[in-house]
């Protein structure tokens, strides 16, 4: 299946609009529409769900989401070069597709879409982790989104799903597993993209939990975890010194040995430690 609708092939779209991927924007385009449809299916049944797509580029995943039955798709694109290609899609799907130029973190999705809302994106590599952390750490929970289906570098995907004691375990694993169920759903080789990156990529699917696994304030957990893993080779009593002189007492109160390293501490204990910093 080279096409999923009457739109021209993606390589023709890229040539017509001169959409050479920009390294500065972290762009790597997916051109195989069979593959983009497969990624859309990972997001689940979207027939009663509105979808946000971040960084659609020429619209390969956009077309997959629409072909797989998404109720409505809102694409958010910072690269103005891509807007004419997205306009072609909107002309074909005027009732189900719209796009805006801008920053995904500055746009209110509820002003454009109706819950339930899923996010599905081949994220630019240079902003992917920042976007994920922002989506996972709003002050109020549950969030506006019900699931995230996101493309990352494979190494980042493994950090999201890592368990305590592994080298990949850290801030992303804790924040992801605190409020969601993450899993690696698909691994892709470099040649799946244009231009091919130097690394493998992976699609991670995260389903939002109704409530966090353990109580904690998002801002405090983020602060504690970021500080702890900033010097992951040090014992926690040393790594967490920037948080105050009494940090050893707070660790003990949370049931954590001050001599442990951050990678040894499970999610529940980090949440208990974050609660020790509540006023």
Contact (CB, 8 A) for 221 and 271: yes
The mean of the pLDDT values for the chain is: 91
SS3 labels along 31-57? CCHHHHHHHHHHCCCCCCCEEEEECCC
Rounded CA-CA distance 247/264 in Å is: 17
* 66-103 pLDDT tens trace: 999 999 999 999 889 999 999 999 999 999 999 999 98
* 186-233 pLDDT tens trace: 999 999 887 788 899 999 999 999 999 999 999 999 999 999 999 988
Q: Which residue has the tokens 């659609």?
A: 56
Residue 60 pLDDT: 92
Residue 11 pLDDT: 83
Rounded to an integer, the average pLDDT of 173-196 is: 93
Structure tokens at 48: 């009663």
Rounded CA-CA distance 30/14 in Å is: 11
Is the pLDDT at 24 greater than 80? The verdict is no
- pLDDT band, very low/low/confident/very high, at 1 (cuts 50, 70, 90): very low
Helix axis angle, 60-67 to 83-92, nearest 10° = 20
pTM over cut 0.85: yes
Across the strands, what pairs with 53? 75
- End-to-end, the C-alpha distance of the chain in Å comes to 59
Rounded CA-CA distance 64/36 in Å is: 5
* 120-163 pLDDT tens trace: 998 877 788 999 999 999 989 999 999 999 999 999 999 999 99
- pLDDT band, very low/low/confident/very high, at 2 (cuts 50, 70, 90): very low
């Amino acid at each position: 299946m080279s096409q999923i609708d009457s739109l021209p092939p993606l390589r023709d779209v890229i040539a017509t609009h001169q959409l050479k991927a920009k390294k500065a924007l972290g762009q790597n385009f997916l051109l195989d529409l069979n593959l983009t449809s497969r990624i859309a299916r990972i997001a689940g049944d979207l027939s009663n769900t509105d979808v946000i797509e971040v960084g659609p580029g020429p619209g390969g995943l956009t077309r997959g989401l629409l072909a797989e039955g998404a109720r409505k798709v809102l694409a958010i694109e910072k690269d103005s070069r891509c807007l004419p290609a997205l306009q072609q899609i909107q002309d074909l799907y005027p009732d189900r597709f719209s796009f805006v130029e801008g920053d995904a973190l500055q746009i209110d999705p509820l002003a454009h879409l109706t819950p339930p809302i899923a996010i599905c994106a081949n994220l630019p590599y240079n902003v992917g982790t920042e976007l994920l952390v922002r989506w996972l750490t709003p002050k109020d929970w549950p969030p506006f989104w019900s699931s995230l289906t996101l493309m990352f570098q494979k190494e980042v995907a493994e950090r999201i799903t890592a368990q305590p004691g592994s080298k990949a375990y850290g801030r992303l694993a804790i924040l992801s597993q605190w409020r969601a169920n993450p899993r690696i759903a698909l691994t892709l080789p470099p040649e799946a993209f244009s231009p091919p990156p130097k690394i493998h990529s992976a699609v991670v699917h995260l389903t939002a939990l109704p409530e966090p696994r353990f109580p904690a304030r998002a801002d405090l957990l983020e602060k504690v975890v970021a500080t702890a893993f900033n010097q992951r080779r040090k014992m926690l009593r040393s790594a967490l010194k920037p948080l105050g002189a009494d940090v050893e007492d707070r660790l003990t109160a949370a049931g954590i040995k001050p001599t442990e390293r951050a990678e040894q501490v499970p999610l529940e204990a980090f949440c208990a430690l974050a609660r020790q910093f509540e006023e």
